[in-house]
Chains A and B, each alone.
Chain A
């Protein structure tokens, strides 16, 4: 399964122009370490795109290439219609790369003022973004005194300073406590509304499940699956166990077709069938003389899909 590549285009409701596009993007360190391997990635306007993968899969390297921090070994990338790291691209992009980094001797407000000068944005944006991330009460305290959660929020404020069309957030909830994670998550959901595009990398599946409209799963530098979470999950299955099992199998094959019935051992079967037909199948089995001992719908979790695709439990 690890070699399977499942890629689906975005749902019609989110299709806009591509704000991020990579073609054959690769990064090779030295002669043998391939961090990103011929990556083709498309993120559309208005999406909250989750970039999933275990530690070391190449998420951060990809994000750094999209921001112009790392030069690709081969392939091309376009971010907001321009080459990564160019002023034309950067002015429309707000980003956090791993842990937000600021000047420790300055206050949160002064840190944002420096960045406002760099970006050429109105100083009024500084207070507005501090308010947006609820950091105003600590704005005049030095960055070095901030907790991890506050640092992360300042990082988001910095990313929002330019009112960017695209937000690139690399592990934005790293190191946060549950409350901090929930706060940041809600903020990102809020930010992702409307036409703004959010590309968020994470290895926290529950987080991605709650925030993202579409996800891409990366393994060893390659996208191995892409689509909405429902698409990646696939259709739910019905698990049935009954005796005698051969009679149960005959009835089920008759009801849903042989291609939708799979024996999974121990007298159990897995049926690809609409959940609405559960009662009907149960009735047929009972009336046919099968003693049904187990009958339930199974839905694969994102965790199952992730482990199936990446062949790892890392990062969970």
Chain B
């Protein structure tokens, strides 16, 4: 499997699409997470304090951008949305092979199909890990710059919390990447897999539970706890949210981190098994 893993990593490193995706993700993390937010907080538009707790201004929210809150800020902003980028990585990793017809080239080299699959998944996880680590690195750098501009403390959370957060982000992103990989395997192409994956990530689960919310939280939330976006959210929320004068910026999650981790692992195993079964049994006719 080592040869397959090396080959896949070699391909990923040389693939412009992967770098463009990572670059875009990090650019969004800088712009939306810090640069634009900081500009709005420092130059609040007229009337922007309406709806805020009494005595609170937008400038008070700048605390979220300082280094001590980098984990909470990153997880709350990208813990779920970052999964969309990981989903695309997963789809590209597998779907392009069908599009280019290279699946037949790879399957006729040396290894069995499952060895190839796990080599491919291994290389994909390296890319996902790079995304998770670089997201935190970029956010840490942005928060440091903002603390410098505002003359605030540049102390970061404890190393173990940062490592836990990176691991949690990696787990969430891994779920999305494996989900994208499975979709591309099922449909044997990228376009439909990305379309359906994005539809699920951005619309379907949220829309369904949004509509069901009319039934009442007591009915909906126990069902929702078994779905992946909800569990990504629980895990991200387990790192807490920034406290503005005693008011939590986000409601407490329905389930805890352990539940979220178990559910995400179940989904990862299930989608990997689906991909493996299809890879092993299907004919390659393209």
Give the B-binding residues of A (Cβ under 8 A).
64, 67-71, 85-87, 90-91, 93, 95, 97, 99-106, 110, 113-115, 117-120, 158, 162
CB distance from B234 to the nearest CB of A (A): 38
Asked if B104 and A101 make an inter-chain contact with CB atoms under 8 angstroms apart, the answer reads yes
The 4 closest A-B pairs by CB, nearest first: A101-B101, A117-B7, A118-B109, A69-B284
The answer, yes or no, to whether B112 is at the interface (CB within 8 Å) is yes
What are 29 A-B contacts defined by CB distance under 8 Å?
A: A64-B285, A67-B104, A85-B112, A85-B113, A93-B108, A95-B108, A97-B104, A101-B101, A101-B102, A101-B104, A101-B105, A102-B100, A102-B102, A102-B105, A103-B11, A103-B102, A104-B100, A105-B14, A105-B15, A105-B17, A106-B11, A110-B14, A114-B10, A115-B7, A117-B6, A117-B10, A118-B7, A118-B110, A162-B110
The one of B106, B111, B285 that contacts A70, using a Cβ cutoff of 8 Å? B285
Report the Cα distance A90→B4, complex, angstroms.
14
Q: Hey, which chain B residues are within 8 Å of A67, CB to CB? A: 104, 107-108
The answer, yes or no, to whether B3 is at the interface (CB within 8 Å) is yes
Categorize the interface residue count of chain B.
Answer: 20 to 34
Total cross-chain contacts (CB, 8 A): 87
Q: Hey, which chain A residues are within 8 Å of B284, CB to CB? A: 64, 69-70
8 A Cβ contacts from B74-117 to A:
100-102, 104-113, 115
Nearest neighbor of A113 in chain B, beta-carbon distance: B10
The answer, yes or no, to whether B51 is at the interface (CB within 8 Å) is no
Report the Cα distance A158→B106, complex, angstroms.
11
Asked if B11 and A87 make an inter-chain contact with CB atoms under 8 angstroms apart, the answer reads no
Give the A-binding residues of B (Cβ under 8 A).
3-4, 6-7, 10-11, 14-17, 100-102, 104-113, 115, 281, 283-285
Nearest neighbor of B4 in chain A, beta-carbon distance: A118
CB distance from A100 to the nearest CB of B (A): 7
Asked if A120 and B110 make an inter-chain contact with CB atoms under 8 angstroms apart, the answer reads yes
Report the Cα distance A88→B107, complex, angstroms.
13
Question: Given A64-B285, A113-B10, does the pair A99, B109 have CB atoms closer than 8 Å?
Answer: no
Asked if A85 and B107 make an inter-chain contact with CB atoms under 8 angstroms apart, the answer reads yes
